[in-house]
Amino acid sequence: MQSLSHALTWPWMQDFVNTYGWIWPLCEIIHYTGMSLIIGIIVGLDLRILGLYKGVPIGAFKPLVNIAIFGFILNLIGGIIFVTGTNTGAEFYVENLSFQCKVVALLIAFVNLLIFRFSGLEHRVYAVPAGGTAPGSAKAVAWISIVSWIAVIIFGRLLMYNDTLLYFLGL
């Protein structure tokens, strides 16, 4: 863990973030905007796959997915700056159970996306017309997506309250 913390602590980024007081809040705005785009679009798509908004063909969400990808890129940029530019060094994040859980939830969301995209499920889902029902396997993917993104948000918010999480878990 210490070598990972060392590799992710970038003194030049720490200097940049700590020299300009507006960088951190700007990154928070970027990070939260990105998360809003992801949640708004992906959870909307997931809810349609689960059977809500049946008047809308699932394929109508397809052009919006690129906006969600843009939101993820915004999140990634903000997250990298948070981890590499914090004045305490990256060990705050690397050794933080909330951060570790957030990363696991992100990995689950990513693997879930790969399954959706490369199993052929994506093409079948986008072909579902208004009033149609998505395949059961797509519904499982949608549930995993919703739960993993909610976990990302919860554990991201708990980053600053890691001691409370550890206390709650009895650790």
**Closest to 106 (Cα-Cα) out of 52, 153, 51:** 153
Could you give the maximum distance between any two Cα atoms of the chain, in Å? 55
Stated pTM of the model: 0.90
Identify whether the C-beta of residue 130 lies closer than 8 Å to the C-beta of residue 56.
yes
| pLDDT given at position 66 | 94
What does the pLDDT look like over 73-121, one tens digit per residue? 999 999 999 999 998 888 889 889 999 999 999 999 999 999 999 999 9
What does the pLDDT look like over 151-169, one tens digit per residue? 999 999 999 898 888 888 8
